[in-house]
Chain A
Amino acid sequence: SQTIHQWPATLVQPVGSPLSLECTVEGTSNPNLYWYRQAAGRGLQLLFYSVGIGQISSEVPQNLSASRPQDRQFILSSKKLLLSDSGFYLCAWSAAVNQPQHFGDGTRLSIL
């Protein structure tokens, strides 16, 4: 069966520090991969999605970036975190764009 792993579960970072969140999927090949952010009182906002290695689409301009160095690995990064980057970050995968997405357990990111 397919599983998705996302880490760390919680992270506290100072403003201006770098960020790297990692997500890996097991049990499937060539998944669509997604990064979402849920800010307090808001819905899930799609940040990036990828349909293949090295292919990244950005939905929201910001100081975050994403990379897909391997088929089942998706990384969310920032060179300099802002206070507004605080939130709950979720990685997800799907077999196709019109299939349900399956989420990891998320990373609670707090910026101080």
Chain B
Amino acid sequence: DQQVKQNSPSLSVQEGRISILNCDYTNSMFDYFLWYKKYPAEGPTFLISISSIKDKNEDGRFTVFLNKSAKHLSLHIVPSQPGDSAVYFCAALLRGNQFYFGTGTSLTVIP
């Protein structure tokens, strides 16, 4: 049972435009969320996180939005760069128990 879902397996965006990656979850007990970025043949790299007490967290070009009522998480990348091309995973923490990962969205930024 996939508790964290990324329904778009792939996304293509023009360089300089905004990339929006989405993530939905089913368990309202999740209280901490993260985004990871993964290049081929490498492990995921932590990108940005957000606690359930917030609805927005920003770090440079990356902003994560949390809509608890909709159980929806999104990552915005502005402006998108070719080096952002990678697979992005969202993950949710269940009350200090374990992280549940989504299936990933492959982002391609077209120069």
Contact = CB atoms under 8 A, between A and B. Distances in A.
Interface of A: 4, 6, 9, 36, 41-46, 49, 59, 90-92, 97-98, 100-106, 108
Given A43-B2, A43-B89, A102 B46 contact: yes
A59 B97 CA distance: 11
A34 B96 CA distance: 14
Interface residues of B, number: 26
A98 B73 CA distance: 18
B62 interface: no
A97 B97 contact: yes
Contacts of A41: 9, 103
A105 B44 CA distance: 8
Contact of B98 (A9, A59, A91, A104): A59
Contacts, number: 54
Contacts of A4: 43
B89 A44 contact: yes
Contacts of A101: 46, 99
12 contacts: A4-B43, A6-B43, A9-B41, A43-B102, A44-B101, A90-B43, A90-B44, A98-B32, A100-B34, A103-B45, A105-B41, A105-B42
Contacts of A106: 41-43
Contacts of A42: 103
B4 interface: yes
Interface in B1-51: 2, 4, 6, 9, 32, 34, 36, 41-46, 49
A103 B97 contact: no
Contact of B96 (A6, A9, A90, A98): A98
Contacts of A6: 43
Contacts of A92: 43
B78 interface: no
B99 A46 contact: yes
Interface in B61-103: 89, 91, 93, 96-103
B10 to A, nearest CB: 12
Most buried by B among A45, A92, A103: A103
